[in-house]
Amino acid sequence: MKNKFPAVLLTLHLLALGALTSTFLLIDHNDKVINIVLISAVAFIFACIVYTIIYSRNAMRRISKMNQHLESSAAEFMNSLPAPVAVIDDNKKFVWYNQIFAEKIGLGQDVYGHDFEGFVKIDLESLIANGSALCPLNGCIYNVTTEKFTKKDMSFLVLYFHDDTSYYSIKKNMDESHPNVVVITIDNYDDIMQNAKESEKAQTSVETEKLIENFMSTTNGFIKKTSANTFFAVLENRHLKEVIDGKFKLLDAARNIKIAGKYPLTFSIGVGQGASSLSESEKIARQCLDMALGRGGDQAVVKTESGYRFFGGVSKGVEKRSRSKTRIIANALQDLIMSSERVFIMGHRFGDLDSVGAACGLAGAVSIFGKEAYIAVDRTKNLASNLIDTIDAETDCGLFITPAEAESMIGVNDILIIVDTHNRDYVESRVLYEKAHSVVVVDHHRKTVNFIDDAVIFHHEPYASSASEMVTEIIQYFNYNSDEKIASCHADALLAGIMLDTKNFVMRTGVRTFEAAAFLKKLGADTVAVKLLFSNSIDSYRRKTQIVASAKIHNHCAIAAADFESDDIRLVAPQAADELLSITDVDASFVIYRTANTINISARSLGALNVQIIMEQLGGGGHQTMAATQLENVEIADAVKALIYAIDDCRKNSSES
């Protein structure tokens, strides 16, 4: 049937052509015959033309019917799709939608002519650019895809709604049931238990285990006790989120348990969240636990994509009475020094008496071993210039060198000892640290996120009062070949560092602090000479009193902003912060001052308020009673506002816990 009509037309056209040809061939014959043939040919051609026109019209009708049938079939197909489909025009108005769209998304409403973005909450520009987008709607989650087509002068956008609710429900359930390892340890368990009676130990153990069991009873996880002071727990994400949102109330409950009625119990918790396997989760949990212990304990640490989150940390660090760790560190450090050619020592930028004093004490001990020792300091940016000048005058051995000189001198067989900081961003010379093949860290500050993680020896003791105290204990365990001892000027330097960070044995002072000071006194430390290292000029004293006079009290905190710049502002500002603590009803003090384009905040506390947490909110850190931060490219007024907000937030969180 398909070829019937075209064949007939072809035959008729050939006959018509033959008739015309015969007419021309007979042009010289009988006129009557010619006329008859010519008339017949013309009639025949006319009949062919009429037949052709009639056939063409029938073909067009047939094609039109087929197109209508196809359009009707396509519309029926689109309307019967099991997924919602809608069409919108250039004005983002609905021009068509299928039955399931009206039922599931329209909920029976007639949305024809309605605005798409007003009805479906989705960014259409983003959807077109990306090709697809997720859209939660009427309790379902749809993956919306698009297809654009143009008809005549109009363009339309077809939207397909794929129901992925079941997939995301399964995914959510999988995510919420993902297991995480949590490590809980009792801080300083051996130290606080050594003098307790057996009955008190048993009672503490029962109360602790009961507390942890009650904590786990609200979850479907499990916990196992692996040692006298360590517990391993496995929690699903859904329950761990509740614990994190509750800010680890277990920490507050633990403090209510008191050993022998006077020593509060504290926990350190490491959380292995976000791992793909249990082994990785345990590794992350141990890292977080190390971070919690490095910050003084009594806190929980959760690792996130952007760093760490800290909870708790309101208790003071408990001093460790045992020196076994110090003895082991001293023996390892001595072996490392003896196997090296030279020893380079540096502290943090804008070094103070503790940083320089600890470096001097180590240098004095290294010289007894017959090794060359150098201290890298920037004299133009140092707060202990008096001490440096004193050591230079009494030793005359070229102990202090510039960071640039140390960078050019250090070799493969040399070691670098970093004191009074463990943050790679705060060292005196980042280049010197990166060039060193063997690095040793001796620090007492609470652990920060960007700590040096490639040290051969990492001696970190947040319970110590100062780096100078830690160095003093280390040199006591060095095995010297003779009775030679470090010079008295080096002992003065160590004592000056201890006195600076303890505020003349008032803050963060423990039994081991006085024992270290007594040892330095035996080495010939002169307290009068040390006191002279803290002396200021009359102009510096005036600037300090000017800062104190400008202070204002907010929420039991003294806030002072220095509206002037001076060469000794870095020295005067911390002294002013210490002075403000003597004001009645002041829990903490903050001094804000400018250096170049940087706003500095020096924070001090007597222990009632943790200034470390406040400074960490502003990008800094430090100790519970002494911390600082720096803000780039801001005005002093903005810094004051940010500080007040951080203080109020810390107070609010403390009251909630």
Residue 542: CATH number of its domain: 3.10.310.30
pLDDT score recorded for residue 11: 56
Radius of gyration of the chain (CA): 42
Looking at the structure, tell me whether residues 116 and 94 fall in a common domain: yes
Looking at the structure, tell me whether residues 56 and 108 fall in a common domain: no
Residue 149: CATH number of its domain: 3.30.450.20
What is the domain range of residue 40? Answer: 4-78
101-110 burial, b for 16+ CB within 10 Å, e for fewer?
bbebbbeeee
pLDDT over 80 (residue 535): yes
The pLDDT confidence band at residue 17, using thresholds 50, 70 and 90, is low
The 3-state DSSP class for residue 133 equals strand
Q: Which of 143, 169, 195 represents a domain boundary (last residue)?
A: 169
pLDDT over 70 (residue 612): yes
Token pair in block for residue 226: 């692996």
The per-residue pLDDT for range 644-656, each reduced to its tens digit, is 999 998 888 776 6
DSSP 8-state assignment for residue 351:
B
The pLDDT confidence band at residue 58, using thresholds 50, 70 and 90, is low
Looking at the structure, tell me whether residues 378 and 410 fall in a common domain: yes
Strands 342-346 and 372-376: parallel
pLDDT over 80 (residue 441): yes
pLDDT over 60 (residue 68): no
In this structure, is residue 379 part of a structural domain?
yes
Q: Which of 169, 199, 218 represents a domain boundary (last residue)?
A: 169
The pLDDT confidence band at residue 3, using thresholds 50, 70 and 90, is very low
Average pLDDT of the segment spanning 520-544: 90
Q: Which residues fall in the annotated binding site for Mn(2+)?
A: 348, 352, 354, 420, 444, 501
Looking at the structure, tell me whether residues 376 and 285 fall in a common domain: no
Looking at the structure, tell me whether residues 495 and 597 fall in a common domain: no
Looking at the structure, tell me whether residues 297 and 365 fall in a common domain: no
The per-residue pLDDT for range 540-580, each reduced to its tens digit, is 899 999 999 999 999 999 999 998 888 889 889 999 999 99
User: What gap in Å lies between CA 133 and CA 142, rounded to an integer?
Assistant: 8
The pLDDT confidence band at residue 195, using thresholds 50, 70 and 90, is confident
In this structure, is residue 369 part of a structural domain?
yes
In this structure, is residue 319 part of a structural domain?
no
Token pair in block for residue 21: 């040809």
pLDDT score recorded for residue 629: 92
Looking at the structure, tell me whether residues 456 and 329 fall in a common domain: yes
Looking at the structure, tell me whether residues 189 and 122 fall in a common domain: no
Residues 6+ apart with CB under 8 A from 373: 342, 343, 344, 345, 362, 363, 366, 367, 399
The H helix count followed by the E strand count for the chain is 24, 25
* CA pseudo-torsion sign 388, 394, 395, 397: positive
Mean pLDDT of the chain: 84
How many CB atoms neighbour CB 484 within 10 A?
9
Q: Which of 169, 198, 217 represents a domain boundary (last residue)?
A: 169
The pLDDT confidence band at residue 65, using thresholds 50, 70 and 90, is very low
How many CB atoms neighbour CB 347 within 10 A?
30
In this structure, is residue 201 part of a structural domain?
yes
Q: Packing angle between helix 467-476 and helix 488-501, nearest 10 degrees? A: 140
Looking at the structure, tell me whether residues 207 and 303 fall in a common domain: yes
For the entire predicted model, the pTM comes to 0.66
Of 62-71, 75-84, 176-185, 460-469, which range is least confident? 62-71
pLDDT score recorded for residue 102: 80
pLDDT score recorded for residue 336: 93
Highest mean predicted confidence (pLDDT) among 95-99, 407-411, 533-537: 407-411
Beta strands across the sheet bearing 457-460: 400-401, 372-376, 342-346, 415-419, 438-443, 457-460
pLDDT score recorded for residue 41: 59
User: What gap in Å lies between CA 618 and CA 634, rounded to an integer?
Assistant: 12
Beta strands across the sheet bearing 307-312: 222-227, 230-236, 179-186, 267-272, 299-304, 307-312
pLDDT score recorded for residue 51: 59
Average pLDDT of the segment spanning 622-630: 85
In this structure, is residue 303 part of a structural domain?
yes
In this structure, is residue 318 part of a structural domain?
no
pLDDT over 70 (residue 308): yes
The per-residue pLDDT for range 494-513, each reduced to its tens digit, is 999 999 988 889 888 888 99
Q: Residue 368 phi/psi, 5° resolution?
A: -65, -30
Strands 415-419 and 342-346: parallel
Looking at the structure, tell me whether residues 387 and 510 fall in a common domain: yes
pLDDT score recorded for residue 70: 40
- Per cent of the chain over pLDDT 70 is 85
Detail the DSSP E strand segments found in 550-657. 552-554, 557-561, 588-595, 598-605, 621-622, 626-632
User: What gap in Å lies between CA 114 and CA 94, rounded to an integer?
Assistant: 6
**Residue owning tokens 């290294």:** 366
Looking at the structure, tell me whether residues 462 and 488 fall in a common domain: yes
pLDDT over 60 (residue 64): no
In this structure, is residue 317 part of a structural domain?
no
- Per cent of the chain over pLDDT 90 is 38
Please tell me which residue, 637 or 39, carries the higher pLDDT value: 637
Average pLDDT of the segment spanning 514-532: 93
Highest mean predicted confidence (pLDDT) among 20-24, 103-107, 543-547: 543-547
**Residue owning tokens 């021309």:** 24
**Number of domains present in the structure of the chain:** 5
Enumerate long-range contacts of 40-45, CB under 8 Å, 24 or more apart: 41/16, 44/12, 44/15, 44/16, 44/19, 45/16, 45/19, 45/20
Find out whether 363 and 373 touch, Cβ atoms under 8 Å.
Answer: yes
Residue 220: CATH number of its domain: 3.30.70.270
In this structure, is residue 174 part of a structural domain?
no
Closest CA to 490 of 622, 392, 626: 392
Looking at the structure, tell me whether residues 335 and 347 fall in a common domain: yes
pLDDT score recorded for residue 5: 46
